[in-house]
Amino acid sequence: MARNIFSKWQSLAPYFQSILSIVAALMFMMAGTTKLFAFPAGVPPNGDTVKLMSQLGLAGILKTFGGFLLLIGLFTRPIAFLVSGEMAIAFFQVHFPMSPWPTVSNAVPAVLYCFIWFYFSAAGAGPLSLDAKLRK
């Protein structure tokens, strides 16, 4: 009985891979829409948007539109690799100078996104993605 439950649970792993990709992409997109559109809230301290022609503006574009492509699972591997690098740059350029410890420099999201997207750059978005549908 227990063996049957565990084997059934393990067989769902590809779908959980897709779900993780979708949820992570939604959160990633929100970080971008915050920067570009002040949605669902603006950038602290004033609740404003960032200048589009700036490094933060580029980050907002990558997070919003790259996040959308990751959400639907289209061009997952190259986009995930690109935004993984973006998050590595964010860590070393913004957070690391404050402290090498992610919990001290508020870099936990940057580090997690870096490695989540790095994983998806190799694994793909799973069966619930446009990439998977287009392969058929």
Please check whether residue 3 lies inside any domain of the structure.
Answer: no
For residue 90, is it within any domain?
Answer: yes
Q: How is residue 100 annotated by DSSP?
A: S
Is 10 inside any structural domain?
A: no
Q: Is the pTM of this model over 0.85?
A: yes
* 134 within a domain of the structure (yes/no): no
Alpha-carbon dihedral 15, 21, 22, 23, rounded to 10 degrees = 110
* Enclosing domain of residue 105: 16-123
Encode pLDDT of 84-122 as tens digits: 999 999 999 999 999 999 999 999 999 999 999 999 999
Based on the structure, what is the number of domains in the chain?
1
Whether the pLDDT of residue 41 is over 80: the answer is yes
